[in-house]
Amino acid sequence: MAGICFEVEASAPAVSCEPRPRTATARRRRMEIRRFRFIAGAVSEAPDEEFNRKRRRLDCFVSPPGVLQKGFGSEEEGAGEGKVLESNLNGRSSSPGLPGARSFESDRCPRYGVTSVCGRRRDMEDAVSVRPDFLRRFSGTWNRCHFFGVFDGHGCSHVAASCKDLMHELVAEEVERVRPGPPPSAEEWREVMERSFSRMDAAVARWGGAPQNASCRCEMQTPKCDHVGSTAVVAVVGTNHIVVANCGDSRAVLSRNGVPIPLSSDHKPDRPDELERIQAAGGRVIYWDGARVLGVLAMSRAIGDSYLKPYVTSDPEVTVTEREEGDECLILASDGLWDVVTNKMACDIARKCLSAPPAEGGSGSNKACSDAAMLLTKLALARQSADNVSVLVIDLRRNS
Amino acid sequence: MAEQEIFAHFFECWLGQLDRDLQALLAADVPSLDPQHQPHGDANSNEHQLRSLVDMVKGHYEYYHRAKSASARRDVLAIFSPAWASSTEKLFLWAGGWRPSAAFQILYSESGRPVEPCPVQGVLRDDDDLGGLSASQLERVDGLQRRTIESEKKISEEEAEAQELVAWPQMVEISHEITVSGREVAAMEEGLVGAKEAMRRVLERADQLRLETIESVVGILNPRRAVQFLAAAGKLLLRVHEFGKAVDAAAAVMADGIESERRRQWTV
């Protein structure tokens, strides 16, 4: 498990991106992380080369705004307060992140906390990725953006692990490709995310079969293991906006003025528009311990799972949300949390933790984010969540 | 007396001990979350008492595993087909005993059991909040759980290798030739020596892991939680045993009934 809390200035040296360990088990964890990185580094080069794309997909699936909006507002009356910019923005003026838009004073990485535990499962298949200032190598003042991702693997851990290692790089490359100069508009962010997810999906489909890490269980399935996949919920937090791209049943929820606003909508096979899409593609949804695509997979979109293509797609749904003064925090978590804790309860608890007075001798609200993540995790375990639980809490308050 | 019977007798005695331990754990003066019900005497001496109670119970588990290990050295077959366990208990056997990772399930089940107070209130105490696990404790439990499951998998692999020895060339050769003559039976016995020894080592490693898991879990928890954990584990072992025995007894009565009915029909 990683229990992390820290704050990184955008200008901080690269090394401070590494979670600063605070516990007795820190050394072991650090070694695990290093091993991971090293192997991942070796792997990520080959796909990158291969990635030089023949042709980029532009015909991305966008779910009907009506359905999307309904999904967002379903949990809480009045959740419509959350202004989710839809794809058909025509005026630049409403694009978040443009210079001249209302700008907040600080573009440092928000404080955040992560907890990720095995819980009642025998295998850990969740992965969490945090990459402060991940667009650093592209100069410019607009692009102090911070990448957060939660990936919940199934079948094995290696697709989720690959997403953790690679996704932010793909997003960074796509941002550069789309718009080397000024910040991307909402529509451009959507394209960036759709291409990144598509490339990520291609990368894991091409994955040769050699186990990447010790926890990978795929030795027996070489040369190809296409029964493995992962959800991906990715948030890019910029000075003025939050871009969330989601594929699968992990979720991002924003707490704004005390109200939970889902920034993603779970991809379940029985969601009416998803059901329609699957059936239109010639697939079937079979109810076998819940709704499952072809009776197998309990989510309708995922990275990987090439044997269920095209019914299961890796196209993300993307939302671009302008940051507001009333934003308190953003929670990204795997379904290990959301299965047993409502959006509202998660936001209430996170807010409560964030507003707690700094502990004596502690680093104040720095620790508050990890307290929130930890507490939500414990609540999920106490409520008998049957899955791995990964929770990422990001503090969005401006004057904290 | 056959090894089976010797160990069965020991097992009954040990269950008695487990039950006495359970009563002691349940009666322990555990500090409550409710400020109205605090233990008598000062907190330090209470903690000391709880610790020594926990150590005593841990000692009894150690004692059980030492006896089991000694028994396995005398006759490994008996330990792997335990006549003292009910059919229900046998359903859950792993490498000759309970699965170490079950300890974490007990812990997590137990942590969810107290009726949730409003989780938003008082959640930031590092000691006794939800489930009684502090952040660092949960972190250590999670790490321990992952290592324990890794070890379980390794031992399962060793068990697989040991069990595959049954089809070693020598054994297959003997099985082709075997009649009922004494020479081949002796050869078969000879051939099984390696497999039996390998299984005994598997058992030893598994028992070691079982003990280490109890030791480590209890080491992570504060005394109050350690007492509750051991009580929950003891209760589970005893109740499953009692239930299993009852089920087996009922099945035996039914079988007897059928048998006597059949005899009655034959004699008529």
Dihedral sign computed on CA atoms, order A93, A96, A102, A107? negative
Reference A306, options A248, A226, A247, A230; nearest CA is A226
Contacts of B171 (CB under 8 A, 6+ apart): B165, B188, B191, B192
Q: Identify the bridge partners of residue A116 per DSSP, sorted by sequence position.
A: A390
B120 closest CB neighbour out of A3, A24, A348? A348
Q: What residue of B is the nearest CA neighbor of A356? A: B124
pLDDT in tens, A217-245: 665 555 457 789 999 999 999 989 999 99
Residue numbers in B near A119 (CB within 8 A): 108
HEC secondary structure over chain A: CCCEEECCCCCCCHHHHCCCCCCCCHHHHHHHHHHHHHHHHHHHHHHHHHHCCCCCCCCCCCCCHHHHHHHHHCCCCCHHHCCEECCCCCCHHHCCCCCCCCCCCCCCCCCEEEEEECCCCCCCCEEEEEECCCCCCCCCCCCCCEEEEEEEEECCCHHHHHHHHHHHHHHHHHHHHHCCCCCCCHHHHHHHHHHHHHHHHHHHHHCCCCCCCCCCCHHHHCCCCCCCEECEEEEEECCCEEEEEEECCCEEEEEECCEEEECCCCCCCCCHHHHHHHHHCCCCEEECCCEEECCCECCCECEECHHHCCCCECCCEEEEEECCCCEEEEEEECHHHHCCCCHHHHHHHHHHHHCCCCCCCCCCHHHHHHHHHHHHHHHHHHCCCCCCEEEEEEECCCCC
User: How far B104 CA lies from chain A's nearest CA (Å)?
Assistant: 8
Residue numbers in A near B131 (CB within 8 A): 378, 381-382
> What is the torsion angle, in degrees rounded to the nearest 10, for the CA atoms of residue B237, residue B241, residue B242 and residue B243?
100
pLDDT of residue A142: 63
B112 closest CB neighbour out of A122, A377, A383? A383
Question: Is 80 exceeded by the pLDDT of residue B66?
Answer: yes
For A255, phi then psi, to 5°, come to -100, 115
**In B38-134, alpha helices (H):** 43-74, 76-80, 87-91, 102-111
A23 closest CB neighbour out of B120, B136, B149? B136
Using the Cβ of B143 and the Cβ atoms of chain A, whether some distance falls under 8 Å is answered with: yes
Tell me the average pLDDT across A137-154.
Answer: 83
B120 closest CB neighbour out of A23, A349, A383? A349
Asked if A382 lies within 8 A of B130 by C-beta distance, the reply is yes
User: How far A14 CA lies from chain B's nearest CA (Å)?
Assistant: 26
pLDDT in tens, A176-210: 888 666 778 899 999 999 999 999 999 998 865 55
C-alpha angle A300-A304-A310 in degrees, rounded to nearest 5: 50
Dihedral sign computed on CA atoms, order A119, A343, A167, A26? negative
Q: What is the ipTM of this complex?
A: 0.82
Mean pLDDT across chain A: 75
For B56, phi then psi, to 5°, come to -65, -50
Identify the burial level of B59 via C-beta atoms within 10 angstroms of its C-beta, where 0-12 means exposed, 13-18 middle and 19 or more buried. Answer: exposed
Q: What residue of A is the nearest CA neighbor of B152? A: A122
Asked if B130 lies within 8 A of A378 by C-beta distance, the reply is yes
Question: Is 80 exceeded by the pLDDT of residue B149?
Answer: yes
Q: Which of B94, B101, B108 to mutate to test the interface with A (most CBs of A within 10 A)?
A: B108
Size of interface A-B (CB pairs under 8 A): 75
pLDDT of residue B117: 47
DSSP string of B42-55, one letter each residue: -HHHHHHHHHHHHH
Asked if B119 lies within 8 A of A375 by C-beta distance, the reply is yes
pLDDT in tens, A292-351: 999 999 999 999 999 999 999 999 999 999 999 999 999 999 999 999 999 999 999 999
Residue A330: count of CB within 10 angstroms of its CB: 28
Residue numbers in B near A3 (CB within 8 A): 135-136, 139
Q: How far apart are CA A28 and CA A358, in angstroms?
A: 28
pLDDT in tens, B84-138: 999 999 999 999 999 999 999 999 888 776 544 444 444 444 344 445 678 889 9
Tell me the average pLDDT across B160-179.
Answer: 83
Question: Is 70 exceeded by the pLDDT of residue B151?
Answer: yes
Q: What residue of B is the nearest CA neighbor of A372? A: B124
Question: Is 70 exceeded by the pLDDT of residue A5?
Answer: no
pLDDT of residue A69: 29
Residue numbers in A near B116 (CB within 8 A): 382-383
Residue A376, token pair as written in the block:
């939500």
Q: What residue of A is the nearest CA neighbor of B120? A: A349
Q: How far apart are CA A192 and CA A318, in angstroms?
A: 10
pLDDT of residue A96: 36
User: How far B139 CA lies from chain A's nearest CA (Å)?
Assistant: 6
The separation between CA A113 and the C-alpha centre of its own chain, rounded to angstroms, equals: 14
Amino acid at A331: I
For A23, phi then psi, to 5°, come to -125, 175
Asked if A382 lies within 8 A of B120 by C-beta distance, the reply is no
B146 closest CB neighbour out of A3, A124, A374? A124
User: How far B174 CA lies from chain A's nearest CA (Å)?
Assistant: 32
Q: How far apart are CA B243 and CA B10, in angstroms?
A: 20
Angle between helices B182-220 and B223-267 (to 10 degrees): 150
A1 closest CB neighbour out of B101, B131, B142? B142
Residue numbers in B near A336 (CB within 8 A): none
Reference A331, options A388, A379, A372; nearest CA is A372
Peptide bond between residue B119 and the one before it cis (omega within 30 degrees of 0):
no
Question: Is 80 exceeded by the pLDDT of residue A390?
Answer: yes
Using the Cβ of B111 and the Cβ atoms of chain A, whether some distance falls under 8 Å is answered with: yes
Q: Which of A217, A220, A374 to mutate to test the interface with B (most CBs of B within 10 A)?
A: A374
Asked if A25 lies within 8 A of B111 by C-beta distance, the reply is no
Q: What is the pTM of this model?
A: 0.78
Chain A residues in contact with chain B using a Cβ-Cβ cutoff of 8 Å: 1, 3, 23-25, 28, 117-120, 122-124, 345, 348-349, 352-353, 356, 359, 370-371, 374-375, 377-379, 381-384
pLDDT in tens, B180-206: 566 677 878 888 899 999 999 999 999
Q: What residue of A is the nearest CA neighbor of B129? A: A375
Asked if B129 lies within 8 A of A374 by C-beta distance, the reply is no
Pairwise pLDDT comparison (B263 vs B6), residue with the higher score:
B6
Asked if A382 lies within 8 A of B112 by C-beta distance, the reply is yes
pLDDT of residue B58: 96
pLDDT in tens, A352-366: 999 877 655 444 447
Asked if A353 lies within 8 A of B131 by C-beta distance, the reply is no
Using the Cβ of B149 and the Cβ atoms of chain A, whether some distance falls under 8 Å is answered with: yes
